[in-house]
Amino acid sequence: MDGNDPLASAYAAFEAAVRLAGAMTGHLAEAVAVGDRVDVAALDARQVDAYDLAVLLSRLQAARSILGFAERRPKPLHRAWARAFVAEIVTDLTAALVHRAADWEIDVDEVLAELCDAETTSFVRAALSPEEWARMAAWLVESPSLDYGLDGEHEHIRKEFRRFADTAVAPVAERVHKHDDLIPKEIIESVSELGCFGLSIPERFGGLQPDDNADNLGMVVVTEELSRGSLGVAGSLITRPEILSKALLKGGTDEQREHWLPQLASGETLCAVAVTEPDFGSDVAGLKVSATPTAGGWLLNGQKTWCTFGGYADILMVLARSDADLSKGHRGLSIFLADKPRFEGHAFEHTQEGGGKITGRAIDTLGYRGMHSFDVWFEDYFVPDAQVLGGLGGIGKGFYYQMEGFAGGRLQTAARACGVMQAALDKAIAYASERKVFGQPIASYQLSAWKLARMGMMLQTARQFTYDCAALLDGHKGQVEASMVKLWASRIAEWVTREAMQLHGGMGYAEEYDVSRYFVDARVFSIFEGAEEVLALRVVARQVLQRWLDERKALS
């Protein structure tokens, strides 16, 4: 450790990495700019670089969070995790730039001076030594109940929902997964009674959100604990009302807010989100499901896919093309609130009095079972004018309303990833501590210790990054950071759950052990709420590069 401040070298190395990342950002921004705007075609010509930069910047934001956490909660394990996380970034960034510095218009001598000086090299060697990982693992195994860093109120919320997840959710999780059952009604009713559907809805509309200030952290904490119990049974139940309520608060009329938000908050009305289409996933500008004006409303036609909970939901938040001119792109999209009866099976069909029809078929999935994701077809399905989000003034603004909801949804996805990772880490620590191989507990082996310690580091880093993003969204900031944390947490959730399986050996591959479910559930995080590649390229990289260009213009 370093003198009187164990984090001093970590901060110095972190700032060096930030400086180089800033130079990389400036170079790429200039390379893909046409005038003062990011040109999509030019960005696509540098996709690999843009992807790498988006991941790097996301990791640096995560590093900022874990360093701050280690300062606030200065325990040896927290400091060691912060040091190791920064050291890994320095190691990877050095490898990426030493042979490609010229491609980023950075002098290789600058890279060596920033990242390979004697102090930084010594720091990295110490922070990533096998002995240091072994110490981290020993601390973790000795005290596996992690410090979340929450205040008293949110810690109380966490413990209450952990009890609920342990007693009500976890016991049914494996049955629902194995048989691809629908979430038990008693779970939905209990989640409703606990107020979970109203976590992002202001108190004046019957929710739990204070009217005078936002509290995204409460939503995050609840989501994390429910996901720890089961992603498919409970962890995603509140995502869809989160998205729709944020969209309503952003663009809904007064009448729509008064009508829909209390119903969503109470759980009286359950909702699903219908955005993705077979040929258009994260590229929403190309959506083709049409909304054609008719007397008193609109007729929806076309197919949506990956409409999670679409069967049991009472209302679908449908992003559809209200302007037939495809050249309008996202400016031709509007949001329609299409109501339908509840269905419990894997398929449904409903015909309106006027002849409009909606049908759905559940998609067989590797994991993330319980809510069921549907292909949905609309045939002249009628939606009244009163259920166009924002009224007639909301026509053409659906993309913007959706993005408001999806920022919260992406933050919530990071929380879900943290919950699944926590469940995997809990099982891995318990199994590795008890199971003996060649006469020793698995946890005592050097490689196992590295796995356990690194799993804990990745989880705690993602968690603190998620909490920091929640605070930013409370202040109506952090849209890019919410995408970054979703990108980062989704990527590492696969590694953490994979290693939890690996530590179980053959038992990890058996369905009777929960870790196999965690692994297949974690795979979905990098796909939904914005596929990893599109999120990195068209959201994180594009927005960061545009911000750099805007700042340069303001200074000129």
Helices and strands of the chain, counted as H and E runs: 19, 12
Query: If you search the block for the tokens 């700032």, which residue do you land on?
Result: 15
| Closest to 214 measured CA to CA, from 454, 491, 469 | 469
| Closest to 225 measured CA to CA, from 299, 304, 267, 165 | 165
| Structure tokens belonging to residue 225 | 């604990």
**Which one of 132, 277, 481, 529 is the catalytic residue?**
529
d(C-alpha 539, C-alpha 354), whole Å = 41
Signed CA dihedral, 329, 330, 334, 338: sign only: positive
Signed CA dihedral, 97, 98, 101, 103: sign only: negative
Is 494 one of the annotated active-site residues of the chain? no
Beta carbons of 382 and 294 less than 8 angstroms apart = yes
Beta carbons of 220 and 415 less than 8 angstroms apart = yes
d(C-alpha 539, C-alpha 305), whole Å = 22
d(C-alpha 277, C-alpha 234), whole Å = 25
| Closest to 319 measured CA to CA, from 413, 238, 397 | 397
Query: If you search the block for the tokens 């620590």, which residue do you land on?
Result: 429
| Closest to 542 measured CA to CA, from 484, 490, 492, 466 | 484
Burial track 295-331 (b if 16+ CB lie within 10 A, e otherwise): eebbbbbbbbbbbbbbbbbebbbbbbbbbeeeeebbe
Residues marked active site are found at 529
